[in-house]
Structure 1
Amino acid sequence: MNEVAEAETVGAEVKRRVQKQLGRASTSRAGMWFWEVDRVLLLLTLFLMAIGLVAVAAASPATARRYSDATHIMAPMHYFWRQLMWVCVSVPVLVAVSMLPIKLARRLSLIGAILFTAMLFVLPLVGAEVNGAKRWIGVGISQFQPSEFLKPLFIVSTAWMLSFRARDPELPVLFVTGAMTALIGVLLMLQPDFGQTIVFALVWLILLMISGISPLAIGGLMGTAVAGVVAAYLFYGTARTRIDNFLFPTKEAALHDRYQIEMAHATLTEGGLTGTGPGGGQMKFRLPEAHTDYIFSVIGEEFGLISCAVIVLLYAAIVIRVFMRMIDEEDAFVLLAASGLAAQFGVQALINMAVNTGIAPSKGMTLPFISYGGSSMIALSIGMGLLLAFTRRNPYLKRSPYTGRWSKG
């Protein structure tokens, strides 16, 4: 009995210390972070990661069989265990980045944007070629994709430059950020990576609209975007091939892009509303890149279209949550950075799901926090960490509905 009483006393003391450490009166970094961070947004992100682990476990046997040969037989759950490792690395990264002060997060993002843009310059020389594209740089036994890491850092850097318009609307930030986006787009198309180019361009346009440029300028940019797509079709072979294979499929196209799209759609709808059950899918074994580009289709087959709808709602909830949180934000930089990161997150998810449902050509783009990939997972964790850092709120302050100023509640 004494041992039981002693154990209860120790347990109560540990609980008291944790409550003190994380309580509202705590001034420690961890305690302040716990109360300042948007815990709903954090939980939604962790929920997506958990769904991703289940989805990769479902897709892993199909991918392992596809990439096995006579000399190297992969274990059925090979990709699941590797994804679990990447999640264990990514969660601490996400939390650490979310703890950064806004000024430090901005400064590190600017430095990182310069560094990864420089990597895009040298990628044609040192990049590893996979499926005819040089998008990866090898580091030891692994590889990483510079453009994945550049996306959130580019958004924060662009938001910082556009925020100067609030002080001086005459500054040429539109031209500077446009030139920067065009440069990155050219470097991406040289890889080639048309899908990422579209993401960078779309997020830049969204940031411009949020920053408050005139409707006339928005119309001009939209026209320029249409002209850019037409020019890409006429002069950029990769874009022309993808568009032709999607809109005007031939027998040759049926063996490549069109085959992937049709198989993805067939796999997605195979399980009906409720799915075949975990491990019950068979169409996934005929699906290329089941663990990355087309994991949404694997989810549809084994867990049903209802589960796919829930995932769509989760992505929508994250984006809407951020925009609702930014409604009363007065700092132009924070407003643009958080909104841009949320927009990039939503655009990437939307493009991936559009490809899986057959309403967009193949892009080679992952589904955020669900698709397999260490480079993608860590880069997304950095982006979400920055988003959580920019949406933190001091729990001791309340905004007056009359003056709009923050004061102690």
Structure 2
Amino acid sequence: MTDTMRGTALAKRSKMADRLGRGSQSPLATWFWEIDRVLLLLALVLIAIGLVAVAAASPASALRYSDGESRVAGMYYFWRQAGWVAASLPVMLGVSMLPIKAARRLALLGTAVCIACLLVVPFAGAEVNGARRWIGLGFMKFQPSEFLKPLWIVTTAWLLSFKAKDPELPVIVITGALTAVIGALLMLQPDFGQTMIFASVWVILLMIAGISPRAIGMLGGAGVAGVVAAYFFYDTARIRIDSFLFPDPDKAMSDHYQTDMAHATLTGGGITGTGPGGGQAKFRLPEAHTDYIYSVVGEEFGLIACAIIAILFLAVLVRVFVKLLDEEDAFRLLAAGGLASQLGVQALINMAVNTGIAPSKGMTLPFISYGGSSMVALSIGMGLLLAFTRRNPYLKRSPYSAKWKGG
């Protein structure tokens, strides 16, 4: 390297350092020092693991769904996922730079648009595997419920934050009605798994907002009653529960067959796995690249890798909630807590299905499973989470003097 080239490189490095310096007032520098870089790193690690996992599952899914077409051979799903990751990362970083008010407005508008799309899905949506959950846009499809989840959480957090200003406002009833409408639209698709996520996160948000233990008990009772009612009056729920609890040995593709196959694949590699590309059970596993990718990870990389993924999701939850211990703004507390909880609940459901302790629900593993809508929507959600956990490093906070300011 010549002296001129070395001098140019040093000048560029110095210029970047000036832009990101603590004394700089540029938007990029402000974002760099306020962002939770540990949380960002955890998200990037999960995305990287997801690419490796999709690469492992891609040959099995390509063989199952190729129908003899050479274009869907080998690493087809991996390269598509890599493209979605490349498109999603700028979205995540861009959303994380939004001011709180702009992020809230984005969520409110996005919630209205996504609910309107949900109204259309049962009648004009694209049908895949017997369910209408997608809207086709020519060369691609998108799933409105995936995008609705993070936007609805922020909207619900905003509404519940008014409880801190005026406890008499009927925000619990309003948010409950909104959640019920979304749940009814999802069950028309049908999508019982997503309905469970919306209901679970709503209850978590109410707990964060500080509802009474008596109200929590009443909600728990209502939840049990809802599941019982779904069993008797909602065919999709009854079929899945019956298939799981009372499997039919003559029905090779029952839900219990899928969960049994997932468990066998998950444990087939032992502690350390068969090694990349060494798995064989994955070729008999339906939806290896989406719903059951956790099992593919277990077969090829071992139960240790599965444990690491679970620990990473737990680390995200712990990181967010520890950071929120001294949060003074009700809206930010609820929004960040809800977004983190959604990741945790969805990951928990997927892992429960893969380990055979819950019936099949068609639930992807956040950032790990293949899917364009899922990856972009999760990136929006993580971007919002990063935006709501940004902190001025010079602002001192005390948990003893915390006082909610509302949204």
Instruction: Assess if the C-alpha contact under 8 Å between 2:34 and 2:393 holds in 1.
Output: yes
Normalising by structure 1, what TM-score? 0.96
Normalising by structure 2, what TM-score? 0.97
Amino acid at match of 2:31: W
Instruction: Assess if the C-alpha contact under 8 Å between 2:241 and 2:359 holds in 1.
Output: yes
RMSD: 1.2
- Which residue does 2:211 correspond to in 1? 213
1:59 matched to 2:63? The reply is no
Per-residue deviation at 1:23?
1.2
Per-residue deviation at 1:396?
2.8
1:282 to 280, 283, 290: 280
Per-residue deviation at 1:195?
0.2
- Which residue does 1:117 correspond to in 2? 115
Per-residue deviation at 1:259?
1.2
Cα deviation digits, residues 188-218 of structure 1 (max 9, x gap) = 0000000000000000000001101111111
- Which residue does 2:139 correspond to in 1? 141
Cα deviation digits, residues 21-79 of structure 1 (max 9, x gap) = 11111111111101100000000000000000000000000011001123555220000
| Counterpart mapping for 1:335-346 below 5 A | 335-346=333-344
Tell me the matched-pair count. Answer: 403
Instruction: Assess if the C-alpha contact under 8 Å between 1:245 and 1:253 holds in 2.
Output: no
Task: Answer with 289-298 or 5-14: which moved more.
Answer: 5-14
- Which residue does 2:90 correspond to in 1? 92
Following the alignment from structure 1 to structure 2, what is the Cα–Cα distance between the partners of residues 162 and 402? Answer: 23
Instruction: Assess if the C-alpha contact under 8 Å between 2:126 and 2:135 holds in 1.
Output: yes
Instruction: Assess if the C-alpha contact under 8 Å between 2:326 and 2:398 holds in 1.
Output: no
Following the alignment from structure 1 to structure 2, what is the Cα–Cα distance between the partners of residues 397 and 81? Answer: 43
| Counterpart mapping for 1:369-408 below 5 A | 369-399=367-397, 403=401
- Which residue does 1:308 correspond to in 2? 306
Following the alignment from structure 2 to structure 1, what is the Cα–Cα distance between the partners of residues 152 and 108? Answer: 8
Per-residue deviation at 1:255?
2.5
Following the alignment from structure 2 to structure 1, what is the Cα–Cα distance between the partners of residues 318 and 125? Answer: 37
Q: Look up the SS of the partner of 1:327 in the other structure.
A: helix
Per-residue deviation at 1:11?
1.4
2:152 to 151, 154, 158: 154
Gaps of 5+ in 2: none
Residues 221 and 106 of structure 1: CA distance in aligned 2, closer, same or farther (over 3 Å): same
Cα deviation digits, residues 80-116 of structure 1 (max 9, x gap) = 0000000000000000000000011001101100110
Amino acid at match of 1:354: A
- Which residue does 2:163 correspond to in 1? 165
Residues 58 and 71 of structure 1: CA distance in aligned 2, closer, same or farther (over 3 Å): closer
Following the alignment from structure 2 to structure 1, what is the Cα–Cα distance between the partners of residues 399 and 189? Answer: 51
Amino acid at match of 2:45: F
Residues 403 and 67 of structure 1: CA distance in aligned 2, closer, same or farther (over 3 Å): closer
| Counterpart mapping for 1:154-233 below 5 A | 154-233=152-231
Following the alignment from structure 2 to structure 1, what is the Cα–Cα distance between the partners of residues 69 and 388? Answer: 49
Amino acid at match of 1:358: G
